Structure 1
Amino acid sequence: MRTPLRPRGGRRRRPHGRRGTALRAVLATLVAVTALVLGSSVLLGVDVRLAPLLAFLPAFAAIFGTVAQTVLAAVWATAAVSTAYSYLSDRSGVTSLVAAGFCAVLGGLSVEACRRRIHREEELGRLRSTAAALQRQILRPLPLLTDRLLVGGLYDPVESDILVGGDIYEVVASPYGSRVLIGDVQGKGLAAIGTGFAVLGAFREAAYREPTLTAVVDALEDAVVRHNTYALGEGEQERFVTALVLGVDGATSCQAVNCGHITPHLLDGDGARTVPLGEPGVPLGLERLAAVPRTVAWFDFPRDSALLLCTDGVTEARDRHGSFYPLTERLARWAGRSVPEVTEALRDDLDSYTAGVHRDDIAVLLVRRTAAA
């Protein structure tokens, strides 16, 4: 069963019932503010000096509302100010006309500002959706299956004003065992997706060709360096990629090369715990700055256990008090469950913990050995 990809932040068509409710809410607000301003003028005995404040109602509507709501606020404010000067004031008709003209001009500017804001939001929405769709085409849907591994999990890109991020993952069956990659590209947007695509292409080729895991990582390093060289030539910035590469063969142990990524978690009958991989290496693209070369770490990966790999969208998720998500503690509750059950439990728990507000892309891989292996 494919893990559903749930885009966030897309524009949704509002039902007619909600539009009617919103219109009634706007009308109620306009009536309440008008009554408050004009009533205060009468009670304070200050003639209608507070009435011009109504001219700013369209400006507030332009910030938060639709064009139709802003037009309504502009017409209402102009009518209210004209009425106030005509019937509640002893001033001349010229003063009433000037006040009404000021309201009309400010209302027209507010309507245009609202139109431009909505147009800009729609442009950003289309760009976000395009980038997210491109990212989903680059990444294969989960779960993924090889002759040795079943890899489930979830991938949930956050479509925000800074666009989607560069979380990547891949699983390749090779003559040397199954290779697994999870990574996170520095930055956001299409440029980050381009860097991620370069890493994925290099991994899909090198994972099948190279006999050692360090050679696979060297190929990824070269791909990022080449991509950065091209990016600099195009006037873009260099980017690095944190990555974790695993190699699983017929043995009960597992190989890992950590390039500055989050340490994996092992789930078994004893609960959940982080896997000791030693000091992580530098991210991909920064090997020239490292004092020592990257090395392979070995750890036990029994057949009745599972490995959880993730990006910082999980570990840096926060609740409304700013506390980080307690991943290890929560995983201990689900150690004995199947891949789909752990995936769904983690998704629901993250949504509950953050109240549905995710600030970064979420990528999670849950790796188990297949029955055939």
Structure 2
Amino acid sequence: MSRLLRAAPPSTRGPTDSDEDSPIGTPPTRNVVLTTVVSTAVAVALVLLTGTAVLVLGLLVFLPAFAAARCSPRQTAMVSTWVCAIVIIPVALQPTGRIVDRVVLSLFAVAFGALAVYASRARISREAELVRLRSTAAAMQRQILRPLPMLTDDVLVDGVYEPLQQDKLVGGDIYDVAATPWGTRVLIGDVQGKGLPAIGMAIDVVGAFREAAHREPTVTSLVDALEGAVVRHNDDALGRGEPERFVTALVLGVDGAVDTQVVSCGHIPPYLLHAGDVTAVGVGTEHVPLGLAKLVDEPRTVAWFAFPAGATLLLCTDGLTEARSPDGAFYPLEARLSGRTDTADRLTSSLVDDARSFAAGVQQDDLAVLAVRRSPHRAL
């Protein structure tokens, strides 16, 4: 039986006690001190030039507000204390001017300092909450889409996954790898549409794949199970007044044999890179996407193709192939693959970087790119 392993788990550094005192993103204390001293020196110079100590030094009252926006509460308190001393002492010693003005300015300095420290604490607390929420979302993503790379007895799968909306860690593109008694099954797919409804469909399809891959002995029966999951999701969606969706998908079956099975459900065909050549893999009959099987009267069938040792299979979604340049041209994937000899991880990341450069840095859709190679432990 094949085993599924994660080849290189990502680093997961959590917050430590020191993070609370020096939150990530706050400037070093020496920079805060330097900025405060320079600002004070400028204010003092203006005092000497204008002879208006109260008005000029009053400008320093707002310095803690800038500290609250960037610094830790401890740094903000330091700046506030310094500003209070710089403002209140000269004002108190000034022999001229109304006493009321000097008292009001001193009270403003103390009040602004206290509010700045409070604002800094509130900002740090809010940022910490956002970090916790994002950590929770990342943990959920690892359950929905397992981190890459993944290794089984048959294949090593690496790649890049980038949802269109960076504040969402999961989009409408999906992938998964399952090590089963019949070899390794690989899924890549693309849910129609965007937003939370598309993510809901993605979760259902991935869940169905993980369950059916270990139950169904053939790739076609596995695809039929995925079809059933999409139909059930659409039935529930109609009951809630939501539109039906379909899913383009490509399912591979890889075992110890040279030939590999593939069923395409309206998805972009894979590319085989071997010995410097790039070939679009024939997927046999181009079947309709998942969720649309009721519209045609033909069962889905499996196609076979040679997947020799040393070759790389590139699987992707249309976030790569439909990346467009400013003049509207689509990304020429096959041409850009020609002559590449990168490792699996470098192949996918370099392609994504190249497509992003081609599209002038604009990402137009969710993006998933997988590189599949024979496991180094498997001898054909």
After TM superposition, is the score higher than 0.5?
Answer: yes
Structure 1 match to 2:262: 255
1:366 corresponds to 2:371: yes
2:203 maps to 1:203: no
2:88 paired residue among 70, 82, 86: 82
Cα separation, partners in 2 of 1:86 and 1:16, compared to 1, 3 Å: closer
Runs (5+) with no aligned partner, structure 2: 325-329
Q: Which position in structure 2 is the counterpart of 1:170?
A: 177
Instruction: Give the distance between the partners of 2:143 and 2:288, measured in 1 at CA.
Output: 28
Structure 1 equivalent of residue 60 of structure 2: 54
Deviations 1:190-229 (A, max 9, x none): x87765442223113444427463x544432432453466
1:304-339 per-position Cα deviation (integer Å, ceiling 9, x unaligned): 422022467878999xxxxx999767755553x6xx
Q: Which amino acid aligns with 1:150?
A: V
- Corresponding residue pairs, total: 355
Partner residue, 2:344: 342
8 Å Cα contact 2:259/2:306 also seen in 1? yes
Are 1:30 and 2:32 an aligned pair? Answer: no
The counterpart of 1:151, out of the listed 151, 156, 172, is 156
| Matched position secondary structure for 2:136 | helix
Query: Whole-Å Cα distance in 2 between the matches of residues 235 and 38 of structure 1?
Result: 67
Distance of 2:289 and 2:112 partners within structure 1: 53
Question: Given the alignment, which residue of 252, 265, 271 partners 1:265?
Answer: 271
Once residues 194 and 312 of structure 1 are traced to their aligned partners in structure 2, the CA distance between those partners, rounded to angstroms, is 20
Q: Secondary structure at the match of 2:167?
A: coil
Q: Call closer, same or farther: CA 1:151–1:18 in 2, change over 3 Å.
A: closer
CA contact (8 A) 1:171 1:179 kept: yes
Structure-1 separation of matches of 2:195 and 2:241: 16
State the alpha-carbon separation in 2 of the partners of residues 173 and 245 from structure 1: 14
Q: Deviations over 1:119-169 (max 9, x none)?
A: 1221221222223223324555643325xx3133156789x9724224431
Residues 255 and 278 (structure 1), Cα distance of their counterparts in 2 relative to 1, 3 Å cut = closer
Q: Structure 1 residue aligned with 2:102, among 93, 96, 103?
A: 96
Q: Aligned residues: percent identity?
A: 40
Match of 2:138 among 132, 140, 145: 132
Tell me, in whole angstroms, the C-alpha distance in 2 between the residues paired with 1:291 and 1:154: 34
TM-score, length basis structure 1: 0.69
Residue among 107, 111, 136 paired with 2:113: 107
1:150/1:24 CA distance change after superposition, 3 Å = same
In 2 relative to 1, CA 48–126 (structure 1 residues): closer, same or farther, beyond 3 Å? same
Distance verdict in 2 for CA 1:291–1:121, change over 3 Å: farther
2:188 to 182, 186, 200: 182
Evaluate the alpha carbon distance shift between residue 300 and residue 144 of structure 1 in structure 2; reply closer, same or farther with a 3 A threshold: same
Deviation larger for 118-127 or 222-231: 222-231
Distance 1:57 1:181, change over 3 A: same
Equivalent-residue separation in structure 2 for 1:282 and 1:183 (angstroms):
13
Partners of 1:52 and 1:133 lie apart in 2 by 49
Taking the TM superposition and a 5 Å limit, the aligned residue runs for 1:276-291 are: 287=292
- Separation in structure 1 between the aligned mates of residue 369 and residue 82 of structure 2, nearest angstrom: 52
SS in 1 for 2:28: helix
1:4 and 2:8 correspond: yes
Equivalent position SS for 1:6: coil
Give the distance between the partners of 1:7 and 1:361, measured in 2 at CA. Answer: 24
Q: Does residue 125 of structure 2 align to residue 119 of structure 1?
A: yes
Which region of structure 1 is more displaced relative to structure 2, 239-248 or 93-102?
Answer: 239-248
What pairs up with 1:203-352 in 2 under 5 angstroms?
203-207=209-213, 208-209=215-216, 211=218, 213=220, 216-227=222-233, 243-248=249-254, 252=259, 254-259=261-266, 264-272=270-278, 275=281, 287=292, 300-304=305-309, 305-310=311-316, 332=338, 334-335=340-341, 341-343=343-345, 346=348
Alignment CA distance shift 1:333-1:23 (3 Å): farther
CA distance in 2: counterparts of 1:87 and 1:314, whole angstroms: 69
Q: TM-score, normalised by structure 2?
A: 0.68
Do the aligned partners of 2:277 and 2:339 also contact (CA within 8 Å) in 1?
Answer: yes
- Helix, strand or coil for the counterpart of 1:200? helix
Aligned to 1:321: none
Alpha-carbon distance in structure 2 between the residues aligned to 1:135 and 1:192: 15
Superposed CA RMSD in Å reads 5.1
